[in-house]
Structure 1
Amino acid sequence: MTATSLLTSLLPLVADLSRELPEGERYRRLLGALRALLPCDAAALLRLDGDCLVPLAVDGLSTDTLGRRFRINEHPRFEALLANSQPTRFATDSDLPDPYDGLVEGLDEHLEVHDCMGCPLFVDERPWGLLTLDSLDPERFEPIDLSALQAFASLAAATVSAAERIERLALRAEDEHHRAEVYRQASGQQHRDMVGQSKAHKRLVEEIKLVGGSDLTVLITGETGVGKELVAQAIHAASNRADQPLISLNCAALPDTLVESELFGHVRGAFTGAMNDRRGKFELADGGTLFLDEVGELSLTVQAKLLRVLQSGQLQRLGSDKEHRVDVRLIAATNRDLADEVRNGRYRADFYHRLSVYPLQVPALRDRGRDVLLLAGFFLEQNRSRMGLGSLRLTSDAQAALLAYDWPGNVRELEHLIGRSALKALGHCKVRPKILSLSAEDLDLPRAASDNAPIAIAAPAQPEIMTGDLRQAMENYQRQIISACLERHQHNWASAARELGLDRANLGRMAKRLGLK
């Protein structure tokens, strides 16, 4: 490689340093220049985030790679690259597993990467991440002078530094990491990334940043399974209370008789079984954030008592006359239309308006486009690690099936689908594979949903003529539909709910009301 060709490849990047570009576009240009300089089948830029490497841009690798989080101690090649300050080229016969095996774009066969090299990036003399290059040709990188990769890595580090200055990430990274760590220790909850690149997801993230810095009460709405609790955690982490606890309570998981005790606490003897004084969730969250999930399930009585606490900041434990003052930021979540509940007299208008100071709608997965592949990559990597596999990937038909499906259960349904499909696919293997590919057949998604067409539900061959009471006739028809659907799915309630377009819990409640359960 001549000095002229090296200079020709680097000049566009030097020009980009002085331009305002979106972070993603800047990194894509970086990898494009790298592949022009050092021809390869795939290249990736990964940022070091604690004990993980997070892909920021890939070229030549499957889209779901961007959703993966590679734990360094599970990938010895990444460990080796980070341990050497200079570029590293692995021997073609190296027995170290390659993290990208099976992830090269456009290949459904189980082809493994045969030639691999990479280089760490340093920003302000600290390790920042990695540049990696991979080839399916075992001798592709043999004639390459590693000094060319080193020169490119130096400019890549400058590109990264410029991007971080533009986004003001460098000034906040250390502080936010510290705050997030304290938050996780205080709340006892495991941090989970918010994965996505769609416009809908980016708008949500921007709103989280906007409202996070305030003390406004937030009402998070959205369908079941969209990740409302994750959004609440992100709001807390972006707030000035991030170093204080985030306390959560699922309002639907407790009967009315226990909700008050959980929220406000009680004193000894307040009721049968109250053997000791006990602080409630409000007192535990003092100085921090209280997250009330399924807030639409609260009774009118509890709503009235909560309203008083939100207005005055004062509460009384059950059985006590003593006032306690608390400083708590409230975040609530529901999948119900509370405005409609207010109109129908099932919810207090004053409490609803107190909750919805800042309403925040979480988009459904079907409205997030190709984010489904990034999220799938995140869950694939989790399951790959849990199952001890070298690689867990999606075939092209599986990716197409994920993109076509309507996702009535949203992100939670995707998470469960990936875990279930991986386990079943592994169970069908006579010999434990190094690379496990999930096909559309393994995912077993309903075909009608993939066409975005309404599912035709078989009606009785000779439907009886409905007469008399309309409500009774409707309930009889609902019983017939649900019973027929359960028969088709061998009484698998989750599959039946999916076909009917209902949440599993909602189907259970409806069946109970109709006397089917």
Structure 2
Amino acid sequence: MTPKLLLDALIPLMADLSREMHDSERYRRLLDTLRMLFPCDAAALLRLDGEVLVPLAINGLSSDTLGRRFRVSEHPRFRILLSNVPPTRFPANSSLPDPYDGLVEAHSGELHVHDCMGCQITMNGRPWGLLTLDALGAGRFDSVDTASLQAFASLAAATVNVAERIHDLAETSEQERQRAEAYRLAANQSRRELIGQSPAHKKMMKEIRLAGPSNMTVLITGETGVGKELVANAIHAASPRARKPIISLNCAALPETLVESELFGHVRGAFSGAVSDRRGKFELADGGTLFLDEVGELSLAVQAKLLRVLQSGQIQRVGSDEEHKVDVRVIAATNRNLEEEVRQGRYRSDFYHRLSVYPLLAPPLRERGHDILLISGFFLEENRFRLGLLSLRLATDAQEVLLGYRWPGNVRELEHVIARTALKALAKQPERPRILTLAAEDFDLVNEVKPLISEQEEQIQSELDLQNGSSLRDAVSAYERRLISASLARNGGNVASTARELGIDRANLNRMAKRLGLK
């Protein structure tokens, strides 16, 4: 590679350093240039997060790679790259397992003989992450000038540095800086995270960032299995209370006679079996957050006592006359339509309004598009480790099946389906493979796929309705009815959330619903 060719390729990237653009676009351009300069079939930019490498951008690798988290201790090639500052090239016949086995788009199966090299990215004298290059043919990197790759890695470090500095400048207050640090610490404590890039996911994350720093009570609504507890943890991690505990209670898992004791605690002798004093969830969560899951299952009597605590912050242990002051933020979650429960007299109106100061909808998986593949990548990596495989991947037809299925059980169902399918597919193998590829036929979802009606099909149907004798007003009303009904369903019947999604005033929405005959 001539110095002029290298310089001509790097000048646009250097110009990008002074431009405002999204991190993903900045990293995409970086890898495009890398593949233009060096003869590789796949490239990746990975950030070191503790003991885990997180893919930030990929080129030539399957899309589920972005959802994977590579533990450095399990991948000797990554460990070697992180221990060497200069670029490192592995022999074509190296016996070390390749982390990208089965993930290179132009190749299926195990990468027995190929060229592989990488370079550490250093920030402030410490390893920040890696640039990796893979070529399907042996000897493809014979002509690579390691000094040129080292220069490119320096530019990559500058690109990352610019992206991170822009992000830091956006954090204009000390409170926001503390919130970001608390979120980072919380993320390191848990392997589960909210993964996604879809508009629905980004909207939810925006709501989390907005609600987190406040002290408002949040009511998370959504279907079973969408990850409402993960959302609650993210809200807590984004709050000033992040260094204090988040205490969880599943309100549906306890008999009504024990709910009060779990929430408020009890004193010795308060009831049969109370052999000692016991603190309740509110006391345990003092200074932090209390997460009430399945809050729609609480009885009216317990709702009344919880309402008093939310109003005054005073709790009283079962069997005691003494009151305790607690400072607790409550986050609640339910898959029920609590507004309808209030109308039916099964839920207290005053308690519902205390809970839903900030309503937040967790979207169903079927509305999150290609997030399905990113989340699948996370579960595939979990099961690869659990089953002791070198690689666990999805065939193209399997990806199509997952994208086409409606996922009534949402993310929880996806997790169980991948775990079950991987186990069954492994059992079918005559010999234990190093790489296991899950095909469409391995999944038991093929006959359950229910394709969604596209907007274009809805438009065609509206036009057919009009041609079949409907007036323009009738066709418009039918479209409005479908649009509002779909939004109400997505928001669990919550009128306020539906009005926000549709961009109209709540009173106007009520008038429209009445005119259209919607309850």
TM range (shorter): 0.7 to 0.9
Distance in structure 1 (CA, Å) of the matches to 2:381 and 2:115: 22
Q: Is the 8 A contact 1:313 1:325 kept in 2?
A: yes
Match of 1:232 in 2: 232
Aligned residue-pair number:
450
Partner SS state of residue 219, structure 2: strand
1:175-200 per-residue CA deviation (whole Å, 9 max, x = no partner) reads 66863586589xxx734121111111
Distance in structure 1 (CA, Å) of the matches to 2:187 and 2:341: 35
Q: Give the percent of matched residue pairs that are identical in Structure 1 and Structure 2.
A: 68
Distance in structure 1 (CA, Å) of the matches to 2:185 and 2:21: 33
Distance in structure 1 (CA, Å) of the matches to 2:114 and 2:444: 33
1:126-173 per-residue CA deviation (whole Å, 9 max, x = no partner) reads 211100000111111111111111000000000001011112289899
Match of 1:375 in 2: 375
Amino acid at match of 1:393: R
1:381-421 per-residue CA deviation (whole Å, 9 max, x = no partner) reads 11111111111100000011111111111000111111111
Match of 2:290 in 1: 290
Amino acid at match of 1:329: R
Amino acid at match of 2:4: T
Match of 2:487 in 1: none
Q: Is the 8 A contact 1:92 1:115 kept in 2?
A: yes
1:286-345 per-residue CA deviation (whole Å, 9 max, x = no partner) reads 000000000000000000000000000001000000000000000000000100100111
Match of 1:71 in 2: 71
Distance in structure 2 (CA, Å) of the matches to 1:60 and 1:359: 41
Q: Structure 2 vs 1, CA of residues 405 and 51 (structure 1 numbering), >3 Å: closer, same or farther? A: same
Match of 1:386 in 2: 386
Q: Structure 2 vs 1, CA of residues 129 and 211 (structure 1 numbering), >3 Å: closer, same or farther? A: same
Distance in structure 2 (CA, Å) of the matches to 1:203 and 1:375: 17
Q: Structure 2 vs 1, CA of residues 348 and 175 (structure 1 numbering), >3 Å: closer, same or farther? A: closer
1:483-516 per-residue CA deviation (whole Å, 9 max, x = no partner) reads xxxxxxxxxxxxxxxxxxxxxxxxxxxxxxxxxx
Match of 1:332 in 2: 332
Amino acid at match of 1:258: L
1:216-238 per-residue CA deviation (whole Å, 9 max, x = no partner) reads 00000000000000000000001
Match of 1:317 in 2: 317
Q: Is the 8 A contact 2:227 2:411 kept in 1?
A: yes
Match of 2:247 in 1: 247
Cα offset, 1:437, TM superposition: 0.3
Amino acid at match of 2:386: R
Match of 1:348 in 2: 348
Match of 2:272 in 1: 272
Cα offset, 1:430, TM superposition: 1.4
Partner SS state of residue 165, structure 2: helix
Q: Structure 2 vs 1, CA of residues 109 and 77 (structure 1 numbering), >3 Å: closer, same or farther? A: closer
Cα offset, 1:23, TM superposition: 0.8
Q: Is the 8 A contact 2:182 2:242 kept in 1?
A: yes
TM-score of the pair, normalised by structure 1:
0.84
Match of 2:160 in 1: 160
Distance in structure 2 (CA, Å) of the matches to 1:341 and 1:48: 47
Cα offset, 1:122, TM superposition: 1.1
Mark the runs of 5 or more structure 1 residues left unpaired by the alignment: 454-517
Matched, 1:38 2:41: no
Distance in structure 1 (CA, Å) of the matches to 2:350 and 2:450: 42
Distance in structure 1 (CA, Å) of the matches to 2:49 and 2:351: 41
Match of 1:404 in 2: 404
Amino acid at match of 1:318: V
Match of 2:182 in 1: 179
Distance in structure 2 (CA, Å) of the matches to 1:32 and 1:180: 31
Cα offset, 1:124, TM superposition: 2.0
1:2-45 per-residue CA deviation (whole Å, 9 max, x = no partner) reads 00111011111001000011111110011001000112110000
Distance in structure 2 (CA, Å) of the matches to 1:437 and 1:452: 27
Mark the runs of 5 or more structure 2 residues left unpaired by the alignment: 454-519
TM-score of the pair, normalised by structure 2:
0.84
Partner SS state of residue 156, structure 1: helix
